[in-house]
Amino acid sequence: MHQAREWNGDWDWETGSRVIADTKPWNESYSEIHEFVTSRDGEKIAAVVKTEDDTHVPCVNGQPWSNTFEKAWSLRFCPDGRLFCFAMNDDEWTAVVDDEPWEETFDFVWNPQISLDGRTLAVNVRSPEGYGIALNGRSWEQRFVEARSCVLSPDGLRTAANVQMESLAEGDILGFAKGVWSLAVDGRPWDARFLNVWGCTFSDDGESVAAEVRPNLIEQTIAVDGKPWEQRFKAVWEPVFRPGTRDVIAPALTGEGWKLLVNGKPLWDRSFTQVWHQTFSPDRRIVAAVACPEFGRWTVVVDGNLWPCTFSHVVMPPVFSPDSRRIGAIFRDEGSWGLVVDRDPWPDRFDMIWDPVFSPDGDTVAVKAEKRGKYYLAVNGKVYPRAYDAMWDPQFSPDGSKILVRAIADGTFHRIVLPVSEVVG
């Protein structure tokens, strides 16, 4: 959803293909190579490798980090190009960014959340004192019996997790029914307790938090900053804030079926067999969601209007173009995957397809797709004939005229810049 911003302006946009790394020699140097990851600008490829002395180390463009670890996992590039992983030595875990481990270590670390600009990084941690979150190497002062999520505010400054406030004896169903779960923001829990807290989200200014809560065994609702909506439902799904406001929108199972609600009241008149993954356009004006208008058929609903095409298996969360004009969503229908953009499904079907990427002006849409084990770039419905063994999401140049393809062919990682005109023909 947040793609092709100005920050990629200083990337190398010269048309042509460049070999970044030949990964074949890695096989000779290392007994084991884990999954490859690549930086967004296509300048780096990395993987955790196992060295001769049985240690694990991230290796970037063929160069291993200086630090080695007994274990390393969850390797990924941040949007700003820094390389992150979790690593363990002497039973102490921590996060490592660009070969620099955080000072603080933990019994365990997991669930990395990286802000959109890549500058902040939050993870779930467990230490002898309990469970919490660490943000950019500094952990919450408070620890909890358990913390089961790690949510970062859009500005990357605040963190939240659903937390257990009291421990329960095994089988204590009566204690559980009283509610021992809450939501902690920056380590400070809400006063309110619930049976469950799930799916928390920040407002875009980071000041307000909403989450799904279960006040008793048979009711669910949304709580905003610890205060539940008056209305109760059989079930709800993850809320989102309307950007720039404190309005919270969430799907709920009402007597008439699933509905999208805003602050507890219906957003649209219609109800669905299912509705979820509500998403706002970047300009904050449009809300799109995945809907099931009748049992076993799926489509996209935009501001209450269903798209006419429906699909049999699944429709994935809708993706807006940066200019908010266009919407794309991938779907699985009658056994194969496809993409629908603005109500029109592309004619080609694939074995797998990734979320669409729009050019900044919205005119061009590109996807990574897989057919018979090979990966292809497809743009505006046209499949570029070159096949790759591995590939990452395409990226557009700031003016939308070029596409950056990151791909592996014959063991070599290529950084390819293609003019859109060449792909579209």
Task: Please give the residue ranges that form the binding site for another protein (CB under 8 A).
Answer: 32, 34-35, 71, 73-74, 107-108, 110-111, 124, 126, 131, 146, 148, 164, 170-174, 176-177, 181, 195-196, 198, 214, 217-218, 220, 234-235, 253, 255, 272-274, 292, 295-296, 298, 312-314, 316, 332, 351-352, 354, 370
Q: Which is nearer to another protein, 272 or 376 (CB)?
A: 272
Tell me the closest approach of the beta carbon of residue 424 to another protein, in angstroms: 25
Tell me the closest approach of the beta carbon of residue 246 to another protein, in angstroms: 26
Q: Which is nearer to another protein, 8 or 220 (CB)?
A: 220
Tell me the closest approach of the beta carbon of residue 285 to another protein, in angstroms: 27
Burial class (CB in 10 A: 0-12, 13-18, 19+), 219: middle
Separation of alpha carbons 172 and 349, rounded Å? 51
Question: Which bin fits 129, alpha (ψ -120 to 50), beta or left (φ > 0)?
Answer: alpha
Tell me the closest approach of the beta carbon of residue 325 to another protein, in angstroms: 27
Tell me the closest approach of the beta carbon of residue 253 to another protein, in angstroms: 7
Cα–Cα distances (Å) from 53 to 31, 34, 57, 89, 223, in that order, read 10, 16, 11, 14, 52
Answer yes or no: are the C-beta atoms of 89 and 72 closer than 8 Å: no
Neighbours of 187 (CB within 10 A): 19
Tell me the closest approach of the beta carbon of residue 280 to another protein, in angstroms: 20
Q: Which is nearer to another protein, 203 or 395 (CB)?
A: 395
Separation of alpha carbons 236 and 224, rounded Å? 14
Q: Which is nearer to another protein, 375 or 396 (CB)?
A: 375
Tell me the closest approach of the beta carbon of residue 28 to another protein, in angstroms: 16
Tell me the closest approach of the beta carbon of residue 57 to another protein, in angstroms: 16
Q: Which is nearer to another protein, 248 or 390 (CB)?
A: 390
Tell me the closest approach of the beta carbon of residue 260 to another protein, in angstroms: 15
Q: Which is nearer to another protein, 66 or 174 (CB)?
A: 174
β-bridge mates for residue 406, sequence order: 415
* Exposure string for 78-95, b = 16+ CB within 10 A, e = fewer: bbeebbbbbbbbeeebbb
Neighbours of 177 (CB within 10 A): 11
Q: Which is nearer to another protein, 175 or 244 (CB)?
A: 175
Q: Which is nearer to another protein, 164 or 321 (CB)?
A: 164
Q: Which is nearer to another protein, 19 or 217 (CB)?
A: 217
Q: Which is nearer to another protein, 146 or 186 (CB)?
A: 146
Question: Which bin fits 118, alpha (ψ -120 to 50), beta or left (φ > 0)?
Answer: left
Separation of alpha carbons 138 and 127, rounded Å? 13
Tell me the closest approach of the beta carbon of residue 177 to another protein, in angstroms: 8
